[in-house]
Structure 1
Amino acid sequence: MPEFLNHPPIETATDPVHSAADVGQRWRALMGQLGFGERLIWFAFVGPDRRFIKALSQLEIGPSPTVVPVRRMMSALHDVLDGFSEGTTVAALITRPGRGNAITRGDEKWAAFITEAAAEFGVPIEPI
């Protein structure tokens, strides 16, 4: 069975995160077999215990990568993180229409914008 069709049980969504592969598995458990009709950046917080905090948020994005919405998001996340315990990080997931599609250049550009804006605003992030 192709990997994108085999999803971890939802109960594993808050298992500890110790690697990029763990972050991917937590997102896969949370998203299940959803198909996406729009482009979004999902984000969640990973607590100092390395577990996803049970709250998801999203930012609508367009088809062409642009840095402005990502910078706004990181500025807001920087402020929000002040209310969390030290050691809390942000996990981000980029979704778009389709299922099991390969990573595109646009996906890579969005990820680069997220990484750059996180560094600019001092927001600790997990691998995208």
Structure 2
Amino acid sequence: MLGAMTTRDIPPADTATDPIGSTADLRQRWRALMGPGGFGERLLRFVFVGPDRRMLKILSDVPVDRYPQPGLVRNLMVALREILDAREGHTVALLLTRPGEGAVCPSDRRWAQLLTEIAAEFGVPIEPVCLATDDRLLILESGSGQVAVGR
């Protein structure tokens, strides 16, 4: 996990669709999409990653509570599974956003664990789950996707 991000650490928005070959690349793509932070509510954001390892230009989000919501996650994974059935070779990148600064809290880790477990249950290939706060963007969970460091 890296420390606080500054405006100079944020890549240009047009790099958000550059290929993802590592977890560091994934963090940079999310940074490019999210900008400098400053989140007013908790959201689970998701985007599809194509077989070419590029994020598609459709970002979706779902409002979430502080504590994990298994029913919401199951419903989301059912819907994502249906979409992925028609998109061979695609994965899903997940990003939790929340207001506030600082390090990962226990509920962030529980969210990442729940997302990873239910994605596996429904056969939804996911990238490592990330967290964005007002001052940080971190990798939380390894995911089940195709990202490999050094790839």
TM-score calculated relative to the size of structure 1: 0.92
State the SS of the aligned residue for 2:117. Answer: helix
Q: What residue in structure 2 maps to residue 62 of structure 1?
A: 65
Could you tell me which amino acid in structure 1 is paired with residue 22 of structure 2?
S
Which protein is richer in helix relative to its size?
1
Instruction: Work out the CA distance in 1 between the residues paired with 2:108 and 2:67.
Output: 9
User: Equivalents in 2 of 1:124, 1:38: separation in Å?
Assistant: 26
Aligned counterparts of 2:107 and 2:99: Cα–Cα separation in 1: 13
* Cα deviation code 1:70-105 (max 9, x no counterpart): 111111100111222x21000000001124x31111
1:93 to 92, 95, 99: 95
Deviation at 1:34, TM superposition (A): 2.8
Q: Cα RMSD between the aligned structures? A: 1.2
Alignment of 1:30-109 (within 5 A): 30-84=33-87, 86-99=88-101, 101-109=102-110
Identity %: 55
Cα distance in 1, alignment partners of residues 64 and 4 from structure 2: 26
Q: Which runs of 5+ in 2 are unaligned?
A: 130-151
Matched, 1:117 2:114: no
**Aligned-pair CA distance for 1:3:** 4.6
